[in-house]
A = this chain, B = another copy of it.
Amino acid sequence: MKADAAIDALGALAQEHRLALFRLLVQAGDGGLAAGMIAEKLGVPNSSLSFHLTQLREAGLVLQERQHRSIIYRANYPAMNSLVAYLLENCCAGAADCGAGVACETPAQERKSA
């Protein structure tokens, strides 16, 4: 993962509605949620929500797919994984135990997943 992609992803998550939206999709799992359903759950006007969905999609954090009249959104888990890996890359210069706890023990750093 490159710095620009990480900044886009973090920026996409750093907003009240988008953070709530992403967590909603993370919890929804494979089934995903339709745009209208999300707008209703978050209490945000459709046009505003559409703006936020675009941000998350362009940042690579969510995937979209048309189903009949609705558009279904899903969390992109691999993208999330590589974002976390990027943040913790070479933690404590690679020392096995550096007091960082779980953060430093991410099982798969810099995998090819996204």
Contact = CB atoms under 8 A, between A and B. Distances in A.
Q: How large is the interface on A (under 10, 10 to 19, 20 to 34, 35 or more residues)?
A: 35 or more
Contacts of A23: 86-87, 89
Given A16-B7, A19-B7, A87-B26, A77 B93 contact: no
B30 A99 contact: yes
A3 B29 contact: no
Interface stretch (A33-41, A46-54, A62-70, A100-108): A100-108
Contacts of A72: none
A13 interface: yes
A42 to B, nearest CB: 12
Contact of A22 (B15, B87, B108): B87
Contacts of A28: 92-93
Interface of A: 3, 6-7, 10-11, 13-16, 19-20, 22-23, 26-30, 75, 77-78, 80-81, 84, 86-93, 95, 98-104, 106-108, 113
Given A29-B95, A29-B99, 17 more contacts: A7-B16, A10-B19, A11-B14, A23-B86, A23-B87, A26-B87, A26-B92, A27-B89, A27-B91, A27-B92, A27-B93, A29-B93, A30-B92, A30-B98, A77-B99, A81-B103, A101-B113
